[in-house]
Amino acid sequence: MKRIYFIAMLCMALVSCNNEEQLSAESNSLAEKELNVMGFSSEEKMEEKINEIVAIKSEYQRKVLADFNRQEALKGYNVRNKSTSDSDIKERNEAIYNSLKVYHNLVLSSIYELRKQLKFTSIQSIADEINSLNAVDPEKAVYLTKTYRDLLIKDLKIGVVSTIFDGRTSNVLNADGIVLINGKKMDYDEYFSVPGEKNNTRRYVRDEAVAGSVAAISRDYKAFYSAGREIHRNDFGVKFFRYFTELKTFSGFSPMPESFVECPSTFTVDPSSVAGFALSNTVAIGDYSFTYPYISGSGVSVRYTGGKINNAYVPVGGKLKATFTTTIGGINREMSCDLEYKEQ
């Protein structure tokens, strides 16, 4: 009998240890970053892997938003969402904050799942993790930001971090900013320099000449607009451009008054809304070489990207008439803008 009891207790101890090890491995996924380096036989193979990772992340983002929306739909609306009493304001803030934590916990789960799937932690993954930890675990977000400060840039307006690399290639760079091609560290600056006669496959590279500002603000709910150009390279390494417009929404929360996190919203944009591009930003409003629309949609951002253009233009102005709506925490928040702007 004692032997049976001993065996049972031993099994329970082993299960407990396994669970603790699993949780420890998930929470300390960065501990093995020195051994975590991606290697490719060629630049083409690296680009294929980047495309694969970007596609997986897009699918994860779609699932996260769908799961979150289903959960939020069960809450309904708070009938006191326009009350100005201190108790109701506190209740609203708590409801918003709790829902933001739910959303960003879902995002974090997708980040950690991707790491498991790839058996790799990229510097882009760390930046994504920090941006969601701001809502879930601010102390850990600060720690990671300090740890990787040499490879990160922080937006001083809203506190969101990004890598010093482009948003695509950073998905295959490890936590030290390293990727191997033919067993050698890739020279990032050389890789993205204007090529000579080398035959390299380089597709989307990065965004540049991006301009934008605040579109609308309602207390701690903010919307931003931007326009710019994407650098691409064709199969022969020749550079060309695609131009884009983008809208994003963020929400603040009481525990960290000066910090904002991505906030799912519905973007309802008037068809007259466009960003204008020209060869120089000295042109008058309306005197554009071409325009691209701002578009409606849902999520934390919506982006429109146009077709291939060989010349380098800059965003010089535009007009935006739009309504931004979110029901985070069952609290209906809405703000609008109707503006005509010129970039400096």
- The alpha carbons of the chain give a radius of gyration, in whole angstroms, of 23
229 to each of 165, 210, 214, how far by Cα in Å? 16, 7, 19
Q: Is 29 helix (H, G, I), strand (E, B) or coil?
A: coil
* Amino acid at the residue 318: G
What local confidence, expressed as pLDDT, does residue 287 receive? Answer: 84
Q: State how far the Cα of 267 lies from the Cα of 303, in Å rounded to an integer.
A: 11
More confident residue, 133 or 256: 133
Indicate the pTM of the whole model: 0.76
Question: Could you say which DSSP state residue 280 is in?
Answer: S
280 to each of 210, 227, 307, how far by Cα in Å? 14, 15, 20
What local confidence, expressed as pLDDT, does residue 202 receive? Answer: 42
**What's the pLDDT band for 244 if we cut at 50, 70, 90?**
very high
Type and span of the H or E element at 158: none
Q: What's the gap between Cα 141 and its chain centre?
A: 15
What local confidence, expressed as pLDDT, does residue 294 receive? Answer: 97
**For 182, left (φ over 0), alpha (ψ -120 to 50), or beta?**
left
Phi, psi of 109 (to 5 degrees): -60, -40
Angle between helices 138-147 and 123-136 (to 10 degrees): 150
What local confidence, expressed as pLDDT, does residue 205 receive? Answer: 58
Q: Would the pLDDT of 281 be above 50?
A: yes
Q: State how far the Cα of 107 lies from the Cα of 133, in Å rounded to an integer.
A: 10
Q: What's the gap between Cα 5 and its chain centre?
A: 52
What local confidence, expressed as pLDDT, does residue 118 receive? Answer: 93
Mean of pLDDT values over 162-187: 89
- Determine what percent of the chain is predicted with pLDDT higher than 70: 77
CA nearest to 61, candidates 262, 330, 267 = 262
Q: What's the gap between Cα 95 and its chain centre?
A: 23
Q: State how far the Cα of 110 lies from the Cα of 105, in Å rounded to an integer.
A: 9
Mean of pLDDT values over 111-138: 94
What local confidence, expressed as pLDDT, does residue 19 receive? Answer: 39
What local confidence, expressed as pLDDT, does residue 41 receive? Answer: 93
What local confidence, expressed as pLDDT, does residue 110 receive? Answer: 97
CB proximity list for 265: less than 8 A, separation 6 or greater: 223, 249, 298, 299, 300, 324, 325, 326
The pLDDT tens digits of the residues spanning 62-116 come to 999 999 988 888 776 554 555 556 666 677 788 888 999 999 999 999 999 999 9
Q: State how far the Cα of 39 lies from the Cα of 184, in Å rounded to an integer.
A: 9
Contact between 249 and 223 under an 8 Å Cβ cutoff? The reply is yes
Mean of pLDDT values over 181-189: 81
More confident residue, 57 or 282: 57
What local confidence, expressed as pLDDT, does residue 53 receive? Answer: 96
The pLDDT tens digits of the residues spanning 8-53 come to 434 434 443 443 344 344 445 444 444 489 999 988 899 899 999 9
What local confidence, expressed as pLDDT, does residue 168 receive? Answer: 84
The pLDDT tens digits of the residues spanning 132-170 come to 999 999 999 999 999 999 999 888 777 789 998 888 889
Q: Which of 30-34, 221-225, 300-304 has the lowest mean pLDDT?
A: 30-34
What local confidence, expressed as pLDDT, does residue 278 receive? Answer: 92
Q: What's the full length of the chain, in residues?
A: 344
Mean of pLDDT values over 321-340: 92
Q: State how far the Cα of 315 lies from the Cα of 329, in Å rounded to an integer.
A: 36
